């Protein structure tokens, strides 16, 4: 299993202004999907800008284990020769996803439509995360899971459907992982597989399916929802993909640039898909100076250069319907809120309780350890910003890369240094985070 052999603690402290122009790693969501859909296609898929963190590399390994040819051809450049829809082969060993819930859940969907059996496993953190809400719709389509721990937790054995059934499925929560798993399984089913969301989640799977040649239609459902209909058993064709820079990764140096006095940093090729930019919307409401230029797109995904300058922030209320577009960014938003003037209320954060850790509790603990007043009320997080953070605390990361990065960002502007107990898991999604931040002027030791 992927794990940290020994903790790697690190301390961040107040530095001078951050400055420079950087490109953060390729988007993790796009990278996972490019590998999986490339493997389910006929022909060759060329991917540039792929995120080469542990999470995505584990997905690449799983595609190889399932019969696709996956080759690294250069720096962040990969080639996939696929096996076609429902063409996966029986793997000879368990599929190990390390720390990646996204990779694991999407591959479950892809395997569910194939007449094979695969064992899914991961590290201690991933083994603690429930999979039942992914398995429920897949079992309606004819797959079967057994040997799972309570709540459908890993390790588990998934038997793919010999004759997968198309279904109409209403997702219980706004989750791109649930939706994507159903759609990937639906590729192998005859007829129309339909997913209905009450709150629209990120639409990367729909855009990429269309890019690879699938017939898929997405229309508005209600006030905030979507109805997505996929025609099954298409012949997907290999395609070229440029992976945009990950807005979730960019969130950390962006907030650092906002809270470290005098900073001026530009970020190139950042994805600006509106279903992923809730953080940028919120930061601008708080008074952040974030300018956008050089807008372009690839495979349906828009991207742009963002110039971010240090700003005086103010507290705001973040509505619950914005959560799907920024669910991974609330941790670092809480850091920005701690440096703002006034109270910030983040509503509807139930999803944070089933991530790599209970991120809602972990975020509150991170702030409290560094002298910030914070309260959890139901599924809401309330942060009392006082314009500065005392710092001086030790943050428990719970094997969660986003907690580690958020705490390190906080230390760059806090009155006293902030220490994290382990930074090893940052490599799962942003392997160059520490050297990149140092290149901008951050002080870590």
Any idea which residues carry the catalytic annotation? 328
Distance CA 72, CA 421 (A): 33
Helix (H) or strand (E) segment spanning residue 405: helix 401-411
Tell the burial category of 137 from Cβ atoms under 10 Å away from its Cβ (0-12, 13-18, 19+): buried
HEC per residue, 352-382: HHHCCCCHHHHHHHHHHCCCCEEEEECCEEE
Distance CA 195, CA 186 (A): 10
Tokens 């807005």 sit at which residue?
A: 247
Separation in Å, CA 429 to CA 127, 400, 432? 18, 10, 9
Residue 421 in contact with residue 395, Cβ under 8 Å? yes
End-to-end CA distance of the chain: 28
CA dihedral 211, 212, 213, 218 (to 10 degrees): -50
Distance CA 376, CA 78 (A): 43
Radius of gyration of the chain (CA): 21
C-alpha torsion sign, points 259, 378, 373, 8 = negative
Tell the burial category of 65 from Cβ atoms under 10 Å away from its Cβ (0-12, 13-18, 19+): buried
Residue 6: Cβ within 10 Å count: 6
Beta bridge partners of 267: 22, 306
């Amino acid at each position: 299993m992927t794990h940290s052999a020994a903790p790697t603690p690190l301390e961040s402290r107040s530095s001078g202004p951050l400055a420079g122009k950087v490109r953060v790693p390729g988007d993790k969501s796009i990278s996972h999907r490019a590998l999986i859909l490339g493997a389910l296609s006929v022909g060759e898929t060329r991917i540039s800008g792929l995120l080469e963190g542990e999470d995505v590399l584990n997905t690449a390994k799983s595609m190889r284990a399932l019969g696709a040819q996956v080759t690294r051809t250069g720096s962040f450049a990969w080639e996939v020769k696929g096996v076609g829809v429902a063409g996966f082969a029986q793997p000879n060993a368990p599929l190990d996803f390390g720390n990646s819930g996204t990779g694991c859940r999407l591959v479950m969907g892809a395997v569910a439509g194939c007449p094979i059996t695969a064992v899914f496993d991961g590290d201690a953190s991933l083994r603690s995360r429930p999979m039942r809400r992914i398995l429920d719709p897949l079992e309606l389509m004819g797959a079967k899971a057994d040997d799972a721990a309570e709540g459908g937790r890993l390790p588990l054995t998934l038997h793919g459907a010999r004759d997968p059934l198309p279904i109409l499925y209403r997702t219980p929560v706004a989750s791109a992982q649930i939706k994507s798993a159903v759609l990937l399984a639906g590729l192998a089913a005859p007829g129309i597989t339909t997913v209905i969301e009450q709150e629209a989640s990120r639409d990367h799977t729909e855009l990429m399916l269309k890019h690879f040649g699938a017939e898929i239609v997405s229309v508005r459902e209600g006030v905030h929802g979507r109805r997505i209909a996929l025609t099954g058993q298409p012949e997907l064709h290999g395609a070229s993909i440029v992976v945009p820079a990950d807005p979730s990764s960019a969130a950390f140096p962006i907030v650092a640039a906002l809270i470290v006095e005098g900073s001026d940093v530009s970020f190139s090729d950042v994805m600006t898909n509106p279903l992923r930019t809730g953080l940028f919307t919120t930061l601008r409401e708080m008074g952040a100076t974030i300018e956008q230029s050089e807008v372009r797109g690839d495979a349906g995904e828009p991207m742009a250069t963002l110039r971010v300058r240090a700003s005086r922030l103010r507290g705001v209320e973040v509505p619950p319907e914005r959560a799907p577009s920024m669910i991974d960014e609330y941790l670092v938003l809480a850091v920005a809120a701690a440096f703002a003037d006034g109270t910030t209320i983040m509503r509807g954060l139930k999803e944070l309780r089933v991530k790599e850790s209970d991120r809602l509790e972990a975020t509150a603990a991170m702030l409290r350890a560094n002298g910030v007043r914070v309260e959890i009320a139901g599924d809401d997080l309330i942060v009392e910003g006082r314009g500065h953070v005392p710092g001086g605390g030790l943050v428990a990361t719970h094997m969660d890369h986003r907690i580690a990065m958020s705490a390190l960002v906080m230390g760059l502007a806090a009155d006293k240094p902030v220490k994290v107990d382990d930074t090893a898991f940052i490599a799962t999604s942003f392997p160059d985070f520490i050297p990149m931040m140092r290149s901008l002027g951050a002080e870590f030791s």
